[in-house]
Amino acid sequence: MTELRSNFSPSSALGIARRAEWRPLGIRADELHKPKVAIVNSSSDLAACFAHLDDIVPVLKQELRALGVLPFEIRTAAPSDFITSAGRGGSYILSARDLMVNDVEVAVEGAQLDAIVALSSCDKTTPAHLMAAGRLNVPTIIIPCGYQHSGLAAGREADVEEIFLQAAMAAVTKEPTDHLQEMADDAILSPGVCAGLATANSMHIVAEAIGMAVPGAAPVRANSERMWDNVRRSAAALVHMIEHDIRPRDIITAGSIRNAVRTMLAVGGSTTTIKHLQAVAVEAGVDVDVWEAYRTLGRSTPVLCSVRPNGATLTEQFEDAGGAATILRELMPLLEGEALTVTGRTLAENAQDAVPADGDVIRSIEAPYSTDPAIVVLRGTLAPGGAVAKRPVPDPGPKQFTGPARVFDTREQAIDGISDGTLQPGDVAVIRGIGAVGGPALGFTSSFIFALNARGLADKVAFVTDGQFSGLVNQGITVGEVSPEGIADGPLGRVRDDDEISIDLATGSLDLNVPADVLAAREVYAPTVKRDTGGGYLDQYREIVQPLSCGAVLGCRACGACDGHENAVFAGSEASA
C-alpha cells in the first residue's frame, strides 16, 4: 500500500486536531493510521429515488470497518428530475450535477481523505460521482443503488414514466386527470430510481461498462439481495484498489469510454449519457470526442435489447436476463477488453463470468434487434458541434425530413404555434436560446413534443432545439442539444422563418440549406425573452459553464474537446462545414 495522504504526524497540529474531532466519533488513537474513505451519500426526503440510501450507509460502514478502513459519510446536493425541475424552468437539474462534483471535492480534498465509495441513484448523481472520481483521482468505486418496484411490474396500470407521459398529454388536451391521480398512487411501490431505461439506469450501466462499478451491478432492484451483495463486493473491491493503488484515471481511459459508448448504443440508453460521458472524460483528462464516438460507433454497434421506453421489455426482465454484464459479454468482440476495472481484473476477464444472451430479452450481435442506432448523433451546417436524436427499437419511422423552419424562443411560444396554426405539417419547429448557457443548463422541451403528439403532428412536424427533452421521447424526428447553441451565435442563432432545414438520421446529418454569405450577413441572435435565473447559483453557472462539446462542465479545462471554446463563434462556412 502506498503512503496514505490522510496520515499526518500524531504530534502535528492537524494530527492533534483530527484526534480531538474524531475521538467523540468512537475512533480510537490506534485507528488513526487506517485508510480514510468518504461514503458519498446524496440522500434526501424529496423523492423515492434515494429514500433508501441512508439504510445502506450503516451496512457499508460495517463492511469497510471489518476490512480495516475508516468510513466517513459525507452529503451532497440531491436533485430529482420529477421534483427539482419545478423551479426556474428545470435549470437546477443539469446544473446540480456540477454542484455535486464540487461538493465531493470540498469534502474529500479538504479533509485529504484517501478514497471514495459513491452511492449513486438518480439521474445526475452517477455522472457527478464519475466526474468527481476523474477530477480527484483517488481510489473510487460507484455503487448503483437500484431501481424502484413499479406499478407496471406489479401488474398494475402504470409506472412513473407512464404517469408522466399521460399527465403531460392531458395538460395539452385539457382532459380530466382524476384517473391519473389514482394511478399515481400505485406507480411507485418501493424506493429507487425510475424503472425504465432512462438516464438513471443508463448511467448505472455506464458505471459498470466503464469499469467503475463491480460486474453485475446494473441494473439492479433497489433493496434486493443482489443490491446488498453489490454493496459488500464493492467494499472489498475498494479496499483492493487502495492496497494496489488503482485509481480512476487508470480505469477511465479513451478505451473504457468507448466501451461505455458501445454499451449505451447496444441497449438504446438515454441520450443524456453523451454529455455526461464527455464531462467524465474532461474531468479525467481524457482526450476523446464522445459525440463523435457515438456518431461513428453507432454505425457498427447492434442493438441487443429493447427495454422500455424503447420497447415492451421491463427492466426487471432485462436484469433477470443478465443486464449489463451479459451485454458486455455479447459485445466483447467489439469492445476494448483489456480495459482495467475496479476489481483489478480486465473487462474481458469479468465478462467471462456473465451469463450468455437468452436470445429473447438480450440478443447476440449476430441476431440483434436492430442494426440502426437508437441514439443518433448528427452533425452538419446547422450543428457543426453535434446534436442528438433518439429512436425506438426497432425503428419503423422515416429517416429523412426537409422543411421550412418555424422559429421560437420558448417552448410556450412553440406550443401556441401549434394552437394558432403557425406550425403546419411539413414544418421544422425550432426552439433556440435554451442551451447550456441560454437555458441556463438546457431548458426542457418535452411539453412541446407531447403537444405535437396530442395534436397528431408528431410524425408530420420535425423538431430541432438547443435544449433537451426527456429520455422517454423517441417518436417522430426530434433533434436536441444542438451545438453551438443559439446564444453562442452559431448557425442555429441565425436561422430565420422559412429557411430550409434537412435532417437525415440515416447519414447523421443536420443541415441549414442557406448560403454561408447570407448567414454571415444576418444580425447576431438576441433572445427575445429574459430568463429568470433568480440572481444566485444559476447566474454563476451561466458565467462559467462550457459548451456541450466539453460536456457542459464548469470552467475551461483546456481539454481540446472544443475549438477555441465554442467551435461556436460563427465564422461563415469554414467554421460550420
> At 340, is the secondary structure helix, strand, or coil?
strand
Q: What is the CA radius of gyration of the chain?
A: 24
Q: Contact 381/491 with Cβ under 8 angstroms? A: yes
Beta strand segments in 132-237, E: 140-144
| AA identity, residue 173 | T
CB-hemisphere CA count at 13 Å for 449?
Answer: 25
- Sheet of 400-408: strand order equals 375-378, 386-390, 478-483, 462-465, 428-431, 400-408, 500-504, 509-512
Q: Contact 62/263 with Cβ under 8 angstroms? A: no
What fold characterizes domain 34-149+190-351?
Rossmann fold (3.40.50)
The pTM (predicted TM-score) of the whole model is 0.95
Per-residue pLDDT of the chain (577 residues; tens, 9 = 90+): 678 999 999 999 999 999 999 999 999 999 999 999 999 999 999 999 999 999 999 999 999 999 999 999 999 999 998 899 899 989 999 999 999 999 999 999 999 999 999 999 999 999 999 999 999 999 999 999 999 999 999 999 889 888 888 888 888 788 899 999 999 999 999 999 999 999 999 999 999 999 999 999 999 999 999 999 999 999 999 999 999 999 999 999 999 999 999 999 999 999 999 999 999 999 999 999 999 999 999 999 999 999 998 889 999 999 999 999 999 999 999 999 999 999 999 999 999 999 999 999 999 999 999 999 999 999 999 999 999 999 887 788 899 999 999 999 999 999 999 999 999 999 999 999 999 999 999 998 988 998 898 889 999 999 999 999 876 666 789 999 999 999 998 899 999 999 999 999 999 999 999 999 999 999 878 888 888 899 999 999 999 999 999 999 999 877 766 654 443 333 333 333 2
State the Cα–Cα distance between residues 243 and 259, nearest whole angstrom: 26
Q: Contact 431/523 with Cβ under 8 angstroms? A: no
Q: Contact 1/242 with Cβ under 8 angstroms? A: yes
> At 61, is the secondary structure helix, strand, or coil?
helix
Q: Contact 266/300 with Cβ under 8 angstroms? A: no
Residue among 43, 91, 470, 502 flagged as catalytic: 470
Q: What are phi and psi of 279, to 5 degrees?
A: -65, -40
State the Cα–Cα distance between residues 550 and 348, nearest whole angstrom: 29
Task: Give the pLDDT score at 165.
Answer: 82
State the Cα–Cα distance between residues 76 and 70, nearest whole angstrom: 20
Question: Which grid cell is 151?
Answer: 406499478
Q: How many Cβ atoms are within 10 Å of 142's Cβ, its own excluded?
A: 31
State the Cα–Cα distance between residues 379 and 5, nearest whole angstrom: 46
CA 105 to chain centre: 20
Q: Contact 502/404 with Cβ under 8 angstroms? A: no
Task: Give the pLDDT score at 567.
Answer: 39
Question: Which grid cell is 434?
Answer: 435554451
Question: Which grid cell is 414?
Answer: 412553440
Question: Which grid cell is 389?
Answer: 436524436
**CATH 3.50.30.80, the chain: domain bounds:** 375-576
Cα dist from 16 to 28, 47, 72, whole Å = 13, 40, 18
Q: Contact 281/551 with Cβ under 8 angstroms? A: yes
State the Cα–Cα distance between residues 187 and 156, nearest whole angstrom: 8
State the Cα–Cα distance between residues 74 and 37, nearest whole angstrom: 10
Q: Is the peptide bond preceding residue 547 cis, with omega within 30 degrees of 0?
A: no
CATH number assigned to the domain covering 375-576? 3.50.30.80
Question: Which grid cell is 70?
Answer: 475508516
For the chain, how long is the longest CA-to-CA vector? 77
State the Cα–Cα distance between residues 148 and 286, nearest whole angstrom: 34
Task: Give the pLDDT score at 568.
Answer: 38
CB-hemisphere CA count at 13 Å for 450?
Answer: 21
State the Cα–Cα distance between residues 63 and 59, nearest whole angstrom: 6
Task: Give the pLDDT score at 563.
Answer: 56
Task: Give the pLDDT score at 560.
Answer: 65
Question: Which grid cell is 383?
Answer: 450543428
Q: Is the peptide bond preceding residue 398 cis, with omega within 30 degrees of 0?
A: no
Angle between helices 91-111 and 273-283 in degrees, nearest 10 = 30
Q: Contact 535/89 with Cβ under 8 angstroms? A: no
Helices (H), 116-159: 125-136
Cα dist from 202 to 88, 219, 409, whole Å = 26, 8, 30
State the pairing for strand pair 428-431/462-465: parallel
Task: Give the pLDDT score at 565.
Answer: 43
Q: Is 470 a catalytic residue?
A: yes
- Torsion from C-alpha of 312, 361, 120, 34, nearest 10 degrees: 170
- DSSP-derived letter for residue 221 is B
State the Cα–Cα distance between residues 78 and 204, nearest whole angstrom: 16
Q: How far apart are the first and last CA of the chain?
A: 52
Beta-bridge partners for 500 = 404
State the pairing for strand pair 462-465/478-483: parallel
Q: How many Cβ atoms are within 10 Å of 248's Cβ, its own excluded?
A: 28
| AA identity, residue 503 | I
State the pairing for strand pair 375-378/462-465: unpaired
**CATH 3.40.50.2300, the chain: domain bounds:** 34-149+190-351
Task: Give the pLDDT score at 397.
Answer: 83
- DSSP-derived letter for residue 557 is -
Question: Which grid cell is 184?
Answer: 399515481
Q: Contact 95/541 with Cβ under 8 angstroms? A: yes
